[in-house]
């Protein structure tokens, strides 16, 4: 089947490809490339991405010709494959965009300078408390396991 013309059916081309005829595959690509790119372009609205999808579809078709049950339905098989691959491509692209958007969210946590300043303030407060308790360590102790009113007042005022 080396001499083919436009009248060769898709089913004949599929049978030839299954027998290892690479020229038959080239003719299938030439015949259906526009349709496959068109399906992908309609979904993706990106010409370069639609060409990538078409390349993926034809590579997948080359590997999976043995799975095509009805060779005369080649066109619809390729169209369905183009649709599915384009949708997968769109999902990956949207997933990547969602990840990029998530990375763009401003970090609300304090920076290193704020953390250091807060730690310095806390340390200064505990030093002040330590100095007060060194003067009278019993001033802040609870009486009978309960904090007395004077203990709380001393903690708040000092």
Question: Which residue would you say has higher pLDDT here, 119 or 31?
Answer: 31
Going from N- to C-terminal start, the domains of the chain cover 10-104, 112-157
> Per-residue pLDDT tens for 14-63?
999 999 999 999 999 999 999 999 999 999 999 999 999 999 999 999 99
pLDDT surpasses 50 at 1: no
Q: Per-residue pLDDT tens for 125-155? A: 666 655 555 555 555 555 555 555 555 555 5
Q: What is the average pLDDT value for the chain, to the nearest integer?
A: 77
**Which pLDDT belongs to residue 146?**
56
**Separation CA 127–CA 133 (nearest Å):** 10
pTM, 2 dp: 0.58
For the domain made up of 10-104, give the CATH fold.
Rna Polymerase Sigma Factor; Chain: A (1.10.1740)
Cα separation, 31 vs 54, in Å, equals: 13
Contact indicator for 82, 40 with CB cutoff of 8 Å:
yes
| pLDDT higher than 70, residue 111 | no
């Amino acid at each position: 089947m080396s001499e083919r013309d436009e009248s060769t059916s898709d089913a004949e081309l599929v049978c030839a490809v299954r027998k290892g005829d690479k020229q038959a595959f080239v003719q299938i690509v030439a015949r259906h490339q526009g349709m496959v790119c068109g399906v992908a372009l309609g979904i993706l609205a990106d010409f370069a991405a639609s060409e990538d999808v078409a390349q993926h579809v034809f590579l997948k078709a080359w590997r999976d010709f043995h799975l095509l049950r009805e060779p005369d339905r080649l066109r619809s098989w390729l169209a369905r494959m183009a649709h599915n691959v384009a949708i997968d491509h769109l999902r990956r692209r949207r997933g990547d965009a969602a990840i990029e958007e998530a990375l763009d969210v401003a970090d609300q946590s304090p920076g290193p300078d704020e953390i250091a300043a807060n730690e310095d303030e806390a340390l200064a407060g505990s030093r002040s408390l330590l100095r007060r308790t060194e003067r009278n360590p019993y001033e802040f102790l609870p009486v009978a396991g309960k904090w007395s009113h004077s203990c709380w007042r001393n903690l708040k005022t000092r």
